[in-house]
Structure 1
């Protein structure tokens, strides 16, 4: 496709899809396992062949595309937190991309983790989900979070005080950052979210129609 919003929309949908996990975890202590595992897998997919390849095909970001359309078209109260996490991670990522030392450290940590799980497929992630969550949370806390103002996570105190929930929230935010890096790489910019919302929504709708044909 020559449509310049094709890759931009896919990457932004990836950010949105990871962002929805944060309020799920913070308010219920759990989240959609399939989407969470897809988010983890995307973090380790650092040498993709295409934008779609980060998510193993556009069918895996169907939820993200749907949520993205909702975010850009409505100001509903339940969408506010998701939008805040999306914008927050876009902001952190813009600073992260200017910090080569931090990027190098993230790469090193991911390679070290990957070395423990040579075949980073869906089954491996499902089997070792908790250990991977803590490892990825460590990357977020140690390297990403100090770069900018911390993203305030809103939720129920009993869940926010749970160490595994905390780890999964940070791992989900790292998933947002991974997709945000991709978004900037394919030409994404903050002004598009102000002035090109319709173009992004139209492309998201077209991608959902494409997914419907695949299914």
Structure 2
């Protein structure tokens, strides 16, 4: 992956979009279908060497870019819940990278889901079930667990639960991508204005197309 600020922001947008969708499903029981398809589809692109290709184009992470622009602003506009989900996934990715067996399990699970998606589509229930099971066998075993807050009627629904777990896997995929593009915690802490400006410019480029 090319290590540029732009690519880092796009990967962070992928992470932000995933956690935003997790929050939306947990609290409202629904999420935008195109955003869902882009986020969950990114998990299946394990061998891509182009950041935009992972998501299917910049327009597919527009929601994430909007969230990033907001989240990197002042404390009065930050959504603490989304920030908690994202920071937990960033922390878990470091732990995951030290677990070769878990990485193998994820790889085989994703390959199975990708084959299913080829036949039935990214948001097919079998694809989501495979990704959700893969998440449960791996990331959910690591501490701290991602504790998703929401309305019980929505989070206890099996279909929503599978979408949430699949999206958390998508979040991890974006964290891996972010690191491959040169992202790090210190850059996130000390380059916030630059990252926010880049997110704004990417959004502006989308508005001109």
Give TM-score scaled by structure 1 length.
Answer: 0.90
- Hey, what's the Cα distance between the residues in 2 that align with 1:4 and 1:112? 32
The change in CA–CA distance for 1:69 and 1:93 in structure 2 (over 3 A counts) is: same
1:166-191 Cα distance to aligned partner (Å, 9 max, x none) = 11111111111111110111111111
- Hey, what's the Cα distance between the residues in 1 that align with 2:134 and 2:96? 13
Contact 2:70/2:77, CA 8 A, preserved across alignment: no
- Hey, what's the Cα distance between the residues in 1 that align with 2:69 and 2:144? 27
Counterpart of 1:125 in structure 2 is 122
Counterpart of 2:62 in structure 1 is 62
- Hey, what's the Cα distance between the residues in 2 that align with 1:47 and 1:119? 19
Counterpart of 2:8 in structure 1 is 8
Shift of 1:16: 0.2
Shift of 1:82: 0.9
- Hey, what's the Cα distance between the residues in 2 that align with 1:184 and 1:94? 10
Contact 2:55/2:61, CA 8 A, preserved across alignment: yes
- Hey, what's the Cα distance between the residues in 2 that align with 1:46 and 1:211? 26
Shift of 1:48: 1.5
1:138-175 Cα distance to aligned partner (Å, 9 max, x none) = 11111111122111111111212211111111111111
Decide which of 161, 168, 171 is 2:166's aligned counterpart: 171
- Hey, what's the Cα distance between the residues in 2 that align with 1:193 and 1:116? 36
Contact 1:11/1:180, CA 8 A, preserved across alignment: yes
Counterpart of 2:45 in structure 1 is 45
DSSP-derived class of the 1:84 partner: helix
Decide which of 132, 146, 149 is 1:151's aligned counterpart: 146
- Hey, what's the Cα distance between the residues in 2 that align with 1:163 and 1:78? 30
Unmatched runs of 5 consecutive residues or more in structure 2: none
The change in CA–CA distance for 1:117 and 1:152 in structure 2 (over 3 A counts) is: closer
Shift of 1:76: 4.3
1:56-90 Cα distance to aligned partner (Å, 9 max, x none) = 11121111111101011033477111111111111
DSSP-derived class of the 2:199 partner: helix
Give TM-score scaled by structure 2 length.
Answer: 0.92
Shift of 1:109: 1.3
Counterparts in 2 of 1:14-93, with a 5 A limit? 14-76=14-76, 79-93=79-93
Q: Which deviates more, 188-197 or 111-120?
A: 111-120
Counterpart of 1:134 in structure 2 is 129
Counterpart of 2:181 in structure 1 is 186
What is the number of residues matched between the two proteins? 208
